Structure 1
Amino acid sequence: MRHNRRLRWAAIPIAASLSLVLAGCTQAQLNGFLPGFEDGAGPATNHTERVSGLWVTSWIVLLVVGLVTWGLTIWAVIAYRRRKGQTGLPVQLRYNMPIEVFYTVVPLILVLGFFAFTARDQAAIEQRFAEDEVDVRIEVIGKQWAWDINYIDENVYSPGIQGQLDDEGPSGSLVQSELPTLYLPVGQNVELKLEARDVIHSFWVVDFLYKKDLIPGKTNYMSFVPEREGTYAGKCAELCGEYHSLMLFNVEVVSQDEYDAYIESLRDLGQEGQLSTEYDRRQNQPGPGAPELNEEQEAE
Protein backbone atom coordinates (compact mmCIF):
# COMPACT_ATOMS: atom_id res chain seq x y z
CA MET A 1 0.00 0.00 0.00
CA ARG A 2 2.79 2.37 0.97
CA HIS A 3 4.64 1.44 -2.22
CA ASN A 4 1.61 2.32 -4.40
CA ARG A 5 1.23 5.67 -2.63
CA ARG A 6 4.89 6.48 -3.35
CA LEU A 7 4.40 5.64 -7.03
CA ARG A 8 1.37 7.93 -7.22
CA TRP A 9 3.26 10.82 -5.63
CA ALA A 10 6.18 10.23 -8.02
CA ALA A 11 3.88 10.09 -11.04
CA ILE A 12 2.24 13.46 -10.31
CA PRO A 13 5.33 15.66 -10.84
CA ILE A 14 6.41 13.57 -13.84
CA ALA A 15 2.99 13.98 -15.49
CA ALA A 16 2.96 17.70 -14.69
CA SER A 17 6.43 18.15 -16.18
CA LEU A 18 5.47 16.29 -19.35
CA SER A 19 2.31 18.38 -19.71
CA LEU A 20 4.31 21.58 -19.33
CA VAL A 21 6.90 20.48 -21.89
CA LEU A 22 4.31 19.33 -24.43
CA ALA A 23 2.25 22.50 -23.98
CA GLY A 24 5.26 24.55 -25.02
CA CYS A 25 5.94 22.52 -28.16
CA THR A 26 5.30 23.97 -31.60
CA GLN A 27 3.23 22.18 -34.23
CA ALA A 28 6.44 21.08 -35.95
CA GLN A 29 7.82 19.60 -32.72
CA LEU A 30 4.57 17.82 -31.84
CA ASN A 31 4.57 16.25 -35.31
CA GLY A 32 8.14 15.04 -35.27
CA PHE A 33 9.59 18.04 -37.16
CA LEU A 34 7.86 16.84 -40.33
CA PRO A 35 6.80 19.30 -43.05
CA GLY A 36 3.10 19.95 -43.64
CA PHE A 37 2.36 21.73 -40.36
CA GLU A 38 2.27 25.40 -39.39
CA ASP A 39 1.60 27.03 -36.02
CA GLY A 40 -1.97 28.25 -35.78
CA ALA A 41 -3.06 26.41 -38.94
CA GLY A 42 -4.43 22.99 -39.77
CA PRO A 43 -2.55 20.19 -41.52
CA ALA A 44 -1.95 20.30 -45.26
CA THR A 45 -4.34 17.42 -46.05
CA ASN A 46 -6.75 15.11 -44.27
CA HIS A 47 -4.05 12.40 -44.24
CA THR A 48 -1.12 14.45 -42.95
CA GLU A 49 -1.83 13.98 -39.24
CA ARG A 50 -2.26 10.23 -39.72
CA VAL A 51 1.20 9.96 -41.27
CA SER A 52 2.83 12.14 -38.61
CA GLY A 53 1.05 10.19 -35.85
CA LEU A 54 2.52 6.91 -37.11
CA TRP A 55 5.96 8.54 -37.39
CA VAL A 56 5.95 10.11 -33.92
CA THR A 57 4.50 7.04 -32.18
CA SER A 58 7.08 4.79 -33.84
CA TRP A 59 9.93 7.01 -32.68
CA ILE A 60 8.58 7.13 -29.11
CA VAL A 61 8.46 3.33 -29.00
CA LEU A 62 11.95 3.06 -30.50
CA LEU A 63 13.36 5.60 -28.05
CA VAL A 64 11.89 3.65 -25.12
CA VAL A 65 13.41 0.44 -26.51
CA GLY A 66 16.73 2.22 -26.93
CA LEU A 67 16.69 3.56 -23.36
CA VAL A 68 15.84 0.14 -21.94
CA THR A 69 18.55 -1.53 -24.05
CA TRP A 70 21.23 0.99 -23.13
CA GLY A 71 20.13 0.92 -19.49
CA LEU A 72 20.45 -2.86 -19.29
CA THR A 73 23.78 -2.74 -21.12
CA ILE A 74 25.25 -0.12 -18.79
CA TRP A 75 23.84 -1.92 -15.72
CA ALA A 76 25.46 -5.21 -16.84
CA VAL A 77 28.79 -3.47 -17.49
CA ILE A 78 28.78 -1.91 -13.99
CA ALA A 79 27.22 -4.74 -11.97
CA TYR A 80 29.31 -7.53 -13.49
CA ARG A 81 32.60 -5.73 -14.03
CA ARG A 82 35.80 -7.40 -12.87
CA ARG A 83 36.61 -6.43 -9.30
CA LYS A 84 40.04 -5.96 -7.84
CA GLY A 85 41.58 -9.30 -6.97
CA GLN A 86 39.29 -11.36 -9.20
CA THR A 87 40.93 -13.78 -11.61
CA GLY A 88 39.75 -16.15 -14.29
CA LEU A 89 36.37 -16.18 -15.97
CA PRO A 90 33.03 -15.76 -14.16
CA VAL A 91 30.63 -18.69 -13.89
CA GLN A 92 29.40 -19.56 -17.37
CA LEU A 93 25.69 -20.25 -17.99
CA ARG A 94 24.49 -22.21 -21.01
CA TYR A 95 21.19 -20.35 -21.22
CA ASN A 96 18.71 -18.27 -19.28
CA MET A 97 15.19 -19.20 -20.34
CA PRO A 98 13.35 -16.07 -19.05
CA ILE A 99 15.82 -13.72 -20.76
CA GLU A 100 15.74 -15.70 -24.02
CA VAL A 101 11.93 -15.65 -24.02
CA PHE A 102 12.04 -11.89 -23.32
CA TYR A 103 14.37 -10.97 -26.17
CA THR A 104 12.45 -13.22 -28.56
CA VAL A 105 8.89 -12.22 -27.67
CA VAL A 106 9.38 -8.46 -27.26
CA PRO A 107 10.97 -7.86 -30.73
CA LEU A 108 8.27 -10.06 -32.26
CA ILE A 109 5.55 -7.95 -30.62
CA LEU A 110 7.25 -4.76 -31.82
CA VAL A 111 7.56 -5.96 -35.41
CA LEU A 112 3.94 -7.16 -35.50
CA GLY A 113 2.79 -3.89 -33.93
CA PHE A 114 4.66 -1.73 -36.43
CA PHE A 115 3.31 -3.84 -39.28
CA ALA A 116 -0.29 -3.72 -38.03
CA PHE A 117 -0.41 0.06 -37.49
CA THR A 118 1.40 0.75 -40.77
CA ALA A 119 -0.99 -1.52 -42.70
CA ARG A 120 -3.98 0.14 -41.01
CA ASP A 121 -2.85 3.67 -41.88
CA GLN A 122 -1.77 2.74 -45.40
CA ALA A 123 -5.16 1.15 -46.08
CA ALA A 124 -6.91 4.33 -44.90
CA ILE A 125 -4.71 6.60 -47.02
CA GLU A 126 -4.98 4.39 -50.11
CA GLN A 127 -8.78 4.16 -49.86
CA ARG A 128 -10.32 5.86 -52.88
CA PHE A 129 -13.42 8.01 -52.60
CA ALA A 130 -16.66 6.52 -53.86
CA GLU A 131 -17.54 7.67 -57.37
CA ASP A 132 -20.25 10.04 -56.16
CA GLU A 133 -18.00 11.49 -53.44
CA VAL A 134 -15.30 12.85 -55.75
CA ASP A 135 -15.52 16.63 -56.22
CA VAL A 136 -12.44 17.16 -58.41
CA ARG A 137 -10.88 14.71 -60.88
CA ILE A 138 -7.44 15.51 -62.24
CA GLU A 139 -5.03 13.46 -64.33
CA VAL A 140 -1.31 14.03 -63.72
CA ILE A 141 1.02 12.65 -66.39
CA GLY A 142 4.74 12.37 -65.67
CA LYS A 143 7.23 12.64 -68.51
CA GLN A 144 10.94 13.24 -68.91
CA TRP A 145 11.23 15.77 -67.30
CA ALA A 146 8.02 17.60 -66.48
CA TRP A 147 4.30 17.15 -65.81
CA ASP A 148 1.16 17.42 -67.93
CA ILE A 149 -2.09 18.09 -66.08
CA ASN A 150 -5.62 17.31 -67.30
CA TYR A 151 -8.53 18.81 -65.36
CA ILE A 152 -10.96 16.07 -66.29
CA ASP A 153 -14.30 17.46 -65.12
CA GLU A 154 -13.60 20.92 -66.60
CA ASN A 155 -12.12 19.46 -69.83
CA VAL A 156 -9.07 21.73 -69.85
CA TYR A 157 -5.36 20.99 -69.60
CA SER A 158 -2.02 22.51 -68.63
CA PRO A 159 1.14 21.24 -70.39
CA GLY A 160 4.37 21.43 -68.40
CA ILE A 161 8.03 21.99 -69.18
CA GLN A 162 11.00 21.05 -67.01
CA GLY A 163 12.48 23.51 -64.57
CA GLN A 164 14.24 26.44 -66.24
CA LEU A 165 17.33 28.04 -64.72
CA ASP A 166 16.97 31.68 -63.75
CA ASP A 167 19.84 33.61 -65.37
CA GLU A 168 19.09 36.69 -63.27
CA GLY A 169 18.77 34.94 -59.92
CA PRO A 170 21.27 33.16 -57.67
CA SER A 171 23.28 30.33 -59.18
CA GLY A 172 21.13 27.23 -59.64
CA SER A 173 17.80 28.99 -58.94
CA LEU A 174 14.76 28.27 -61.11
CA VAL A 175 12.09 30.42 -62.70
CA GLN A 176 9.16 29.55 -60.42
CA SER A 177 6.56 30.98 -62.79
CA GLU A 178 7.53 28.43 -65.45
CA LEU A 179 7.25 25.35 -63.24
CA PRO A 180 4.17 23.17 -63.88
CA THR A 181 1.51 24.11 -61.34
CA LEU A 182 -1.32 21.92 -60.10
CA TYR A 183 -4.31 23.89 -58.78
CA LEU A 184 -6.57 22.33 -56.13
CA PRO A 185 -9.65 23.80 -54.42
CA VAL A 186 -9.39 23.75 -50.63
CA GLY A 187 -11.75 21.47 -48.70
CA GLN A 188 -12.80 19.39 -51.73
CA ASN A 189 -12.50 15.63 -52.27
CA VAL A 190 -9.72 15.36 -54.84
CA GLU A 191 -8.82 12.27 -56.86
CA LEU A 192 -5.57 12.32 -58.83
CA LYS A 193 -5.15 9.87 -61.67
CA LEU A 194 -1.42 9.25 -62.09
CA GLU A 195 0.11 8.16 -65.41
CA ALA A 196 3.60 8.01 -66.96
CA ARG A 197 4.50 8.70 -70.59
CA ASP A 198 7.89 7.00 -70.64
CA VAL A 199 9.66 5.66 -67.53
CA ILE A 200 8.78 5.29 -63.85
CA HIS A 201 8.34 8.60 -62.03
CA SER A 202 7.11 9.39 -58.52
CA PHE A 203 4.61 12.13 -57.64
CA TRP A 204 5.66 13.71 -54.34
CA VAL A 205 4.24 16.80 -52.68
CA VAL A 206 6.59 17.20 -49.74
CA ASP A 207 4.13 18.79 -47.28
CA PHE A 208 1.49 16.13 -48.03
CA LEU A 209 3.83 13.49 -46.50
CA TYR A 210 2.93 10.98 -49.18
CA LYS A 211 4.10 10.03 -52.64
CA LYS A 212 2.94 7.64 -55.33
CA ASP A 213 4.76 6.04 -58.24
CA LEU A 214 3.76 6.67 -61.86
CA ILE A 215 4.33 3.46 -63.80
CA PRO A 216 4.07 3.11 -67.60
CA GLY A 217 1.06 0.97 -68.50
CA LYS A 218 -0.45 1.19 -65.01
CA THR A 219 -2.83 3.78 -63.52
CA ASN A 220 -2.41 4.77 -59.88
CA TYR A 221 -4.65 7.03 -57.82
CA MET A 222 -4.38 9.39 -54.87
CA SER A 223 -7.50 10.46 -52.95
CA PHE A 224 -7.30 13.24 -50.36
CA VAL A 225 -8.73 16.55 -49.15
CA PRO A 226 -6.42 19.60 -49.26
CA GLU A 227 -7.22 21.45 -46.03
CA ARG A 228 -4.94 24.50 -46.01
CA GLU A 229 -4.49 27.11 -48.69
CA GLY A 230 -0.97 27.82 -49.79
CA THR A 231 1.82 26.96 -52.22
CA TYR A 232 3.45 23.55 -51.84
CA ALA A 233 6.61 22.28 -53.52
CA GLY A 234 6.51 19.03 -55.46
CA LYS A 235 9.09 16.92 -57.22
CA CYS A 236 9.73 13.59 -58.87
CA ALA A 237 11.06 11.20 -56.22
CA GLU A 238 12.20 8.45 -58.60
CA LEU A 239 15.50 8.75 -60.49
CA CYS A 240 14.23 9.02 -64.05
CA GLY A 241 17.11 10.23 -66.17
CA GLU A 242 19.56 13.05 -66.84
CA TYR A 243 17.35 15.99 -65.79
CA HIS A 244 15.52 14.28 -62.96
CA SER A 245 16.54 17.07 -60.57
CA LEU A 246 14.63 19.59 -62.72
CA MET A 247 11.38 17.59 -62.75
CA LEU A 248 9.73 19.93 -60.27
CA PHE A 249 6.25 21.37 -59.87
CA ASN A 250 4.14 23.46 -57.50
CA VAL A 251 0.76 22.82 -55.97
CA GLU A 252 -1.53 25.80 -55.35
CA VAL A 253 -4.33 25.08 -52.88
CA VAL A 254 -6.78 27.92 -53.38
CA SER A 255 -10.39 28.90 -52.71
CA GLN A 256 -13.13 27.60 -55.01
CA ASP A 257 -13.45 31.01 -56.67
CA GLU A 258 -9.71 31.16 -57.41
CA TYR A 259 -9.82 27.60 -58.74
CA ASP A 260 -12.71 28.45 -61.07
CA ALA A 261 -10.88 31.56 -62.25
CA TYR A 262 -7.78 29.49 -63.05
CA ILE A 263 -9.84 27.00 -65.05
CA GLU A 264 -11.31 29.88 -67.04
CA SER A 265 -7.80 31.23 -67.68
CA LEU A 266 -6.87 27.89 -69.28
CA ARG A 267 -9.94 28.15 -71.53
CA ASP A 268 -8.94 31.68 -72.50
CA LEU A 269 -5.55 30.28 -73.58
CA GLY A 270 -7.33 27.77 -75.83
CA GLN A 271 -6.24 24.81 -73.71
CA GLU A 272 -9.55 22.98 -73.90
CA GLY A 273 -9.75 19.21 -74.21
CA GLN A 274 -7.36 16.63 -72.76
CA LEU A 275 -3.74 15.75 -73.41
CA SER A 276 -3.92 12.18 -74.70
CA THR A 277 -1.52 9.26 -74.84
CA GLU A 278 -0.39 10.06 -78.38
CA TYR A 279 2.83 11.53 -76.97
CA ASP A 280 3.68 8.48 -74.87
CA ARG A 281 7.16 7.29 -75.82
CA ARG A 282 6.47 3.77 -74.59
CA GLN A 283 4.22 3.19 -77.63
CA ASN A 284 7.39 2.72 -79.65
CA GLN A 285 8.73 0.05 -77.32
CA PRO A 286 7.74 -3.54 -76.51
CA GLY A 287 5.32 -3.93 -73.66
CA PRO A 288 2.02 -2.31 -72.64
CA GLY A 289 0.82 0.26 -75.12
CA ALA A 290 3.01 -0.94 -77.99
CA PRO A 291 1.24 -0.99 -81.38
CA GLU A 292 0.37 -4.41 -82.75
CA LEU A 293 2.57 -5.68 -85.57
CA ASN A 294 1.18 -7.19 -88.76
CA GLU A 295 2.49 -10.46 -90.21
CA GLU A 296 5.03 -8.76 -92.51
CA GLN A 297 6.45 -6.68 -89.64
CA GLU A 298 6.67 -9.75 -87.41
CA ALA A 299 8.55 -11.62 -90.18
CA GLU A 300 11.04 -8.79 -90.40
Structure 2
Amino acid sequence: MPEPVTEEAPAIFELWKWSWVAALIVGVIVWGLIGYAALRFRRRSDDEVPVQMRYNLPIETFYTIAPVVMVIVFFFFTVQTQNKVLANPTPDHTITVVGQQWSWTFNYEDEDAVDGQTVHDVGTPSEMPTLVLPVNQTVRFHLHSPDVVHSFWVPNFLMKLDVVPGRDNYFTATPDKIGTYVGRCAELCGTYHSRMLFSVEVVEQAEYEEHLRALEEAGNVGRLMGGEGSASAEDRASEQEQQDLDDDYDTGDDE
Protein backbone atom coordinates (compact mmCIF):
# COMPACT_ATOMS: atom_id res chain seq x y z
CA MET A 1 0.00 0.00 0.00
CA PRO A 2 1.19 3.56 -0.64
CA GLU A 3 2.26 5.49 2.43
CA PRO A 4 -0.73 7.53 3.73
CA VAL A 5 0.06 11.26 3.63
CA THR A 6 -3.27 12.79 4.67
CA GLU A 7 -5.23 12.75 7.91
CA GLU A 8 -8.06 10.89 6.14
CA ALA A 9 -5.91 8.21 4.49
CA PRO A 10 -5.31 5.95 7.56
CA ALA A 11 -9.05 5.21 7.77
CA ILE A 12 -8.96 3.94 4.17
CA PHE A 13 -5.76 2.02 4.91
CA GLU A 14 -7.41 0.23 7.84
CA LEU A 15 -10.50 -0.63 5.76
CA TRP A 16 -8.35 -2.14 3.02
CA LYS A 17 -6.11 -3.99 5.48
CA TRP A 18 -8.94 -5.72 7.33
CA SER A 19 -10.81 -6.41 4.09
CA TRP A 20 -7.77 -8.32 2.87
CA VAL A 21 -7.54 -10.18 6.18
CA ALA A 22 -11.20 -11.21 5.89
CA ALA A 23 -10.72 -12.23 2.25
CA LEU A 24 -7.69 -14.36 3.13
CA ILE A 25 -9.56 -16.11 5.95
CA VAL A 26 -12.44 -16.94 3.60
CA GLY A 27 -9.92 -18.06 0.98
CA VAL A 28 -8.15 -20.42 3.38
CA ILE A 29 -11.50 -21.95 4.44
CA VAL A 30 -12.63 -22.42 0.82
CA TRP A 31 -9.28 -23.87 -0.28
CA GLY A 32 -9.37 -26.22 2.74
CA LEU A 33 -12.86 -27.44 1.87
CA ILE A 34 -11.90 -27.95 -1.77
CA GLY A 35 -8.85 -29.94 -0.74
CA TYR A 36 -10.84 -32.01 1.77
CA ALA A 37 -13.57 -32.80 -0.76
CA ALA A 38 -11.03 -33.67 -3.47
CA LEU A 39 -9.19 -36.11 -1.19
CA ARG A 40 -12.02 -37.47 0.94
CA PHE A 41 -14.42 -38.17 -1.91
CA ARG A 42 -12.02 -39.07 -4.71
CA ARG A 43 -12.75 -42.18 -6.72
CA ARG A 44 -11.20 -45.25 -5.11
CA SER A 45 -9.32 -48.10 -6.72
CA ASP A 46 -12.44 -50.24 -6.64
CA ASP A 47 -14.04 -47.65 -8.98
CA GLU A 48 -17.00 -47.28 -6.64
CA VAL A 49 -18.86 -43.99 -7.11
CA PRO A 50 -19.23 -42.05 -3.81
CA VAL A 51 -22.71 -41.72 -2.35
CA GLN A 52 -24.60 -39.02 -4.25
CA MET A 53 -26.79 -36.46 -2.47
CA ARG A 54 -29.46 -34.22 -3.94
CA TYR A 55 -29.10 -31.54 -1.34
CA ASN A 56 -27.86 -30.77 2.13
CA LEU A 57 -30.13 -28.25 3.77
CA PRO A 58 -27.75 -27.15 6.58
CA ILE A 59 -24.86 -26.56 4.14
CA GLU A 60 -27.07 -24.76 1.61
CA THR A 61 -28.46 -22.54 4.37
CA PHE A 62 -24.95 -21.78 5.58
CA TYR A 63 -23.53 -20.81 2.18
CA THR A 64 -26.56 -18.61 1.54
CA ILE A 65 -26.54 -16.78 4.87
CA ALA A 66 -22.77 -16.48 5.38
CA PRO A 67 -22.10 -14.37 2.23
CA VAL A 68 -25.04 -12.10 3.07
CA VAL A 69 -23.65 -11.53 6.56
CA MET A 70 -20.20 -10.79 5.11
CA VAL A 71 -21.63 -8.26 2.64
CA ILE A 72 -23.54 -6.53 5.45
CA VAL A 73 -20.39 -6.30 7.58
CA PHE A 74 -18.29 -4.98 4.66
CA PHE A 75 -21.04 -2.49 3.80
CA PHE A 76 -21.21 -1.23 7.39
CA PHE A 77 -17.49 -0.53 7.68
CA THR A 78 -17.27 0.86 4.15
CA VAL A 79 -20.05 3.38 4.83
CA GLN A 80 -18.39 4.34 8.12
CA THR A 81 -15.08 5.00 6.34
CA GLN A 82 -16.79 6.79 3.47
CA ASN A 83 -18.63 9.12 5.84
CA LYS A 84 -15.39 9.92 7.63
CA VAL A 85 -13.40 10.55 4.45
CA LEU A 86 -16.15 12.58 2.75
CA ALA A 87 -17.16 14.55 5.84
CA ASN A 88 -16.11 17.78 4.08
CA PRO A 89 -15.27 20.03 7.04
CA THR A 90 -14.87 23.76 6.52
CA PRO A 91 -11.71 24.01 4.37
CA ASP A 92 -8.76 26.33 4.83
CA HIS A 93 -8.21 26.42 1.05
CA THR A 94 -10.22 25.58 -2.06
CA ILE A 95 -8.76 24.31 -5.33
CA THR A 96 -10.83 23.73 -8.46
CA VAL A 97 -9.30 20.87 -10.42
CA VAL A 98 -10.09 20.68 -14.14
CA GLY A 99 -9.35 17.42 -15.92
CA GLN A 100 -9.27 17.89 -19.67
CA GLN A 101 -7.95 15.86 -22.56
CA TRP A 102 -5.11 15.46 -21.85
CA SER A 103 -3.79 17.26 -18.80
CA TRP A 104 -4.84 19.13 -15.67
CA THR A 105 -5.60 22.71 -14.66
CA PHE A 106 -5.39 23.73 -11.00
CA ASN A 107 -7.33 26.85 -9.98
CA TYR A 108 -6.27 28.16 -6.58
CA GLU A 109 -9.27 29.94 -5.10
CA ASP A 110 -7.09 31.39 -2.34
CA GLU A 111 -8.00 35.04 -2.67
CA ASP A 112 -6.40 36.14 0.61
CA ALA A 113 -2.95 35.12 -0.62
CA VAL A 114 -3.07 36.86 -4.01
CA ASP A 115 -4.96 40.13 -3.58
CA GLY A 116 -8.48 38.82 -4.06
CA GLN A 117 -7.71 36.89 -7.24
CA THR A 118 -7.84 33.28 -8.38
CA VAL A 119 -4.64 32.00 -9.97
CA HIS A 120 -4.15 28.89 -12.05
CA ASP A 121 -1.54 26.46 -13.30
CA VAL A 122 -2.11 24.63 -16.60
CA GLY A 123 -0.37 21.49 -17.77
CA THR A 124 0.09 19.98 -21.23
CA PRO A 125 0.54 16.38 -22.36
CA SER A 126 4.30 16.96 -22.52
CA GLU A 127 4.68 19.16 -19.42
CA MET A 128 2.86 17.88 -16.37
CA PRO A 129 1.67 20.52 -13.89
CA THR A 130 2.45 20.62 -10.18
CA LEU A 131 -0.26 20.81 -7.53
CA VAL A 132 1.11 22.62 -4.47
CA LEU A 133 -0.60 22.02 -1.12
CA PRO A 134 0.07 23.48 2.34
CA VAL A 135 0.89 20.96 5.05
CA ASN A 136 -1.60 20.49 7.91
CA GLN A 137 -4.20 22.62 6.10
CA THR A 138 -7.57 21.28 4.98
CA VAL A 139 -8.06 21.61 1.22
CA ARG A 140 -11.34 21.17 -0.62
CA PHE A 141 -10.98 19.89 -4.19
CA HIS A 142 -13.76 20.73 -6.64
CA LEU A 143 -13.51 18.45 -9.67
CA HIS A 144 -14.63 19.61 -13.12
CA SER A 145 -14.37 18.19 -16.65
CA PRO A 146 -15.24 19.99 -19.91
CA ASP A 147 -15.06 16.88 -22.10
CA VAL A 148 -15.09 13.25 -20.86
CA VAL A 149 -14.89 11.36 -17.58
CA HIS A 150 -11.49 11.53 -15.91
CA SER A 151 -10.43 10.38 -12.45
CA PHE A 152 -8.40 12.44 -9.97
CA TRP A 153 -6.00 10.08 -8.21
CA VAL A 154 -3.13 10.71 -5.83
CA PRO A 155 -2.09 7.19 -4.70
CA ASN A 156 -0.69 8.47 -1.40
CA PHE A 157 -4.12 9.94 -0.58
CA LEU A 158 -5.40 6.31 -0.80
CA MET A 159 -8.50 7.46 -2.67
CA LYS A 160 -9.60 8.69 -6.06
CA LEU A 161 -12.72 10.41 -7.32
CA ASP A 162 -14.17 10.62 -10.82
CA VAL A 163 -14.20 13.94 -12.67
CA VAL A 164 -17.54 13.86 -14.48
CA PRO A 165 -18.80 16.42 -17.04
CA GLY A 166 -21.81 18.29 -15.68
CA ARG A 167 -21.31 17.07 -12.13
CA ASP A 168 -19.51 18.88 -9.30
CA ASN A 169 -17.69 16.16 -7.38
CA TYR A 170 -15.66 17.32 -4.42
CA PHE A 171 -13.81 16.07 -1.35
CA THR A 172 -11.47 17.42 1.30
CA ALA A 173 -8.04 16.25 2.35
CA THR A 174 -5.54 17.43 4.94
CA PRO A 175 -1.96 16.62 3.87
CA ASP A 176 0.15 15.96 6.94
CA LYS A 177 3.53 14.95 5.47
CA ILE A 178 5.81 17.28 3.52
CA GLY A 179 7.11 15.75 0.32
CA THR A 180 6.61 15.22 -3.41
CA TYR A 181 4.09 12.67 -4.64
CA VAL A 182 2.69 11.50 -7.97
CA GLY A 183 -0.81 12.01 -9.33
CA ARG A 184 -2.54 10.71 -12.42
CA CYS A 185 -5.82 10.12 -14.21
CA ALA A 186 -7.24 6.70 -13.34
CA GLU A 187 -9.94 6.63 -16.04
CA LEU A 188 -9.19 5.70 -19.65
CA CYS A 189 -10.08 9.01 -21.31
CA GLY A 190 -8.61 8.96 -24.80
CA THR A 191 -5.47 8.81 -26.91
CA TYR A 192 -3.08 10.51 -24.49
CA HIS A 193 -4.61 9.23 -21.25
CA SER A 194 -1.17 8.00 -20.17
CA ARG A 195 0.11 11.60 -20.34
CA MET A 196 -2.39 12.87 -17.77
CA LEU A 197 0.18 13.00 -15.01
CA PHE A 198 0.81 15.61 -12.37
CA SER A 199 3.06 16.12 -9.38
CA VAL A 200 1.90 16.95 -5.85
CA GLU A 201 4.14 18.97 -3.54
CA VAL A 202 3.16 19.31 0.11
CA VAL A 203 4.99 22.34 1.51
CA GLU A 204 4.92 24.80 4.38
CA GLN A 205 2.26 27.54 4.31
CA ALA A 206 4.80 30.27 3.45
CA GLU A 207 6.08 28.29 0.45
CA TYR A 208 2.50 27.67 -0.68
CA GLU A 209 1.72 31.38 -0.63
CA GLU A 210 4.97 32.11 -2.47
CA HIS A 211 3.92 29.67 -5.21
CA LEU A 212 0.58 31.45 -5.62
CA ARG A 213 2.29 34.83 -5.88
CA ALA A 214 4.64 33.41 -8.51
CA LEU A 215 1.64 32.29 -10.58
CA GLU A 216 0.14 35.78 -10.22
CA GLU A 217 3.37 37.44 -11.36
CA ALA A 218 3.50 35.06 -14.34
CA GLY A 219 0.06 36.32 -15.43
CA ASN A 220 -1.83 33.13 -14.56
CA VAL A 221 -4.74 35.09 -13.13
CA GLY A 222 -8.38 34.07 -13.33
CA ARG A 223 -10.22 30.79 -13.30
CA LEU A 224 -9.89 28.34 -16.23
CA MET A 225 -12.73 25.82 -16.33
CA GLY A 226 -12.11 24.25 -19.72
CA GLY A 227 -13.51 25.20 -23.09
CA GLU A 228 -11.86 28.18 -24.70
CA GLY A 229 -8.34 28.62 -23.41
CA SER A 230 -7.85 25.27 -21.80
CA ALA A 231 -10.29 22.57 -22.88
CA SER A 232 -8.94 21.51 -26.25
CA ALA A 233 -5.62 19.88 -26.88
CA GLU A 234 -4.92 22.45 -29.61
CA ASP A 235 -5.13 25.30 -27.08
CA ARG A 236 -2.83 23.60 -24.61
CA ALA A 237 -0.23 22.09 -26.94
CA SER A 238 1.03 23.22 -30.33
CA GLU A 239 0.53 21.14 -33.45
CA GLN A 240 4.24 20.28 -33.44
CA GLU A 241 4.01 19.14 -29.81
CA GLN A 242 1.17 16.81 -30.69
CA GLN A 243 3.17 15.46 -33.63
CA ASP A 244 6.11 14.83 -31.32
CA LEU A 245 3.84 12.82 -29.03
CA ASP A 246 2.63 10.76 -31.98
CA ASP A 247 6.22 10.10 -33.01
CA ASP A 248 7.07 9.01 -29.46
CA TYR A 249 4.29 6.45 -29.50
CA ASP A 250 5.23 5.22 -32.97
CA THR A 251 8.86 4.67 -31.94
CA GLY A 252 8.04 3.40 -28.44
CA ASP A 253 9.88 6.36 -26.83
CA ASP A 254 7.59 7.09 -23.89
CA GLU A 255 9.62 8.96 -21.27
**Which category of TM-score, normalised to the shorter sequence, fits these structures?**
0.7 to 0.9
Q: Separation in 2 of the partners of 1:272 and 1:73?
A: 64
> Mind listing any 5+ residue stretches in structure 2 that lack a counterpart?
112-116, 233-255
Q: Separation in 1 of the partners of 2:47 and 2:166?
A: 71
- In the alignment, which of 232, 250, 254 is matched to residue 181 of structure 2? 232
Q: Separation in 1 of the partners of 2:196 and 2:40?
A: 58
The aligned counterpart of 2:42 is 81
Q: Separation in 2 of the partners of 1:276 and 1:163?
A: 17
Q: Root-mean-square deviation (CA), in Å?
A: 2.0
After superposition, give the CA deviation of every residue in 1:197-240 in whole Å (9 maximum; x if it has no partner). 22221111121121111122221102111111111111111222
TM-score (norm: length of structure 2):
0.81
Q: In the comparison of the two structures, how many residue pairs are matched?
A: 226
Q: Is the 8 A contact 1:193 1:221 kept in 2?
A: yes
Cα distance change, pair 276–100 in 1 and its aligned pair in 2 (3 A) = closer
Q: Is the 8 A contact 1:204 1:210 kept in 2?
A: yes
The alpha-carbon deviation at position 252 of structure 1 amounts to 0.7
Cα distance change, pair 98–255 in 1 and its aligned pair in 2 (3 A) = same
For 2:102, the aligned partner's letter is W
Give runs of aligned pairs for residues 1-150 of structure 1, distance below 5 A: 34-35=1-2, 37=3, 43-84=4-45, 86-129=46-89, 133-150=90-107
After superposition, give the CA deviation of every residue in 1:233-275 in whole Å (9 maximum; x if it has no partner). 1111122222111111111110111111111212222323323
Q: Is the 8 A contact 1:197 1:281 kept in 2?
A: yes
Cα distance change, pair 281–248 in 1 and its aligned pair in 2 (3 A) = closer
For 2:104, the aligned partner's letter is W
Of structures 1 and 2, the one with the larger relative CO (CA 8 A, separation 6+) is 2
TM-score (norm: length of structure 1):
0.70
Give % identity.
Answer: 44
Cα distance change, pair 74–46 in 1 and its aligned pair in 2 (3 A) = same
Q: Is the 8 A contact 1:202 1:236 kept in 2?
A: yes
Cα distance change, pair 81–276 in 1 and its aligned pair in 2 (3 A) = closer
- In the alignment, which of 161, 165, 175 is matched to residue 123 of structure 2? 161
Is the deviation greater in 98-107 or in 153-162? 153-162
Q: Separation in 1 of the partners of 2:231 and 2:202?
A: 31
The aligned counterpart of 1:197 is 146
Q: Separation in 2 of the partners of 1:253 and 1:281?
A: 27
The alpha-carbon deviation at position 277 of structure 1 amounts to 5.5
- The higher radius of gyration belongs to 1
The alpha-carbon deviation at position 101 of structure 1 amounts to 1.6
After superposition, give the CA deviation of every residue in 1:153-203 in whole Å (9 maximum; x if it has no partner). 232323323232xxxxxxxxxxxxx42111110101110111112222111
> Mind listing any 5+ residue stretches in structure 1 that lack a counterpart?
1-33, 38-42, 165-177, 283-300
The alpha-carbon deviation at position 281 of structure 1 amounts to 5.7
Cα distance change, pair 79–269 in 1 and its aligned pair in 2 (3 A) = same
For 2:29, the aligned partner's letter is V
After superposition, give the CA deviation of every residue in 1:2-21 in whole Å (9 maximum; x if it has no partner). xxxxxxxxxxxxxxxxxxxx
The aligned counterpart of 2:159 is 210
